[in-house]
Amino acid sequence: MSGRVTIRTVPKPWGHETIWAHTERYVGKILHIRAGEALSVQYHNVKDETVYLLSGELLYRVALEGGELQDVHLKAGESFRIAPHTVHQMEAVTDCDVFEVSTPELDDVVRLKDRYGREGTSAP
């Protein structure tokens, strides 16, 4: 896969994502999450993500060392890393724009719980 990419927007039940780069080494996205909507409770086997909140307020739920999900309230300008095997979820308190850069494995999503009926699927 080359470093060239066609920018594309992918509709999601929680909003949409714009993929602005997809190379052999990384993927760059901007997620727009509508207020009150949430991504799946999920983890990745290989994918490693770094996330920066561009705008809005977000609840980042994370299970530290196999424990229960804990809420971390984030505001614009804050960031976090999601290492492989980390159970996590993002829920928008207000409309959010999230900048995400990850390793290139788009299909590496294991959904544990999903309010849109997508449990267990692994898809971009």
Task: Give domain limits for the chain.
Answer: 8-113
Write out the E strands in the chain. 8-12, 15-22, 27-33, 41-43, 49-55, 57-63, 69-75, 79-82, 88-92, 96-102, 110-113
Domain 8-113: give its CATH code. Answer: 2.60.120.10
**What pLDDT is attached to residue 5?**
64
The maximal CA–CA distance of the chain, rounded, in angstroms, is 40
**What pLDDT is attached to residue 104?**
94
**What pLDDT is attached to residue 117?**
87
Give me the tens of pLDDT residue by residue for the chain, a chain 124 residues long.
Answer: 455 567 999 999 999 999 999 999 999 999 999 999 999 999 999 999 999 999 999 999 999 777 899 999 999 999 999 999 999 999 999 999 999 999 999 899 999 999 998 877 565 4
**What pLDDT is attached to residue 64?**
79
> Could you tell me the pTM of the whole model?
0.89
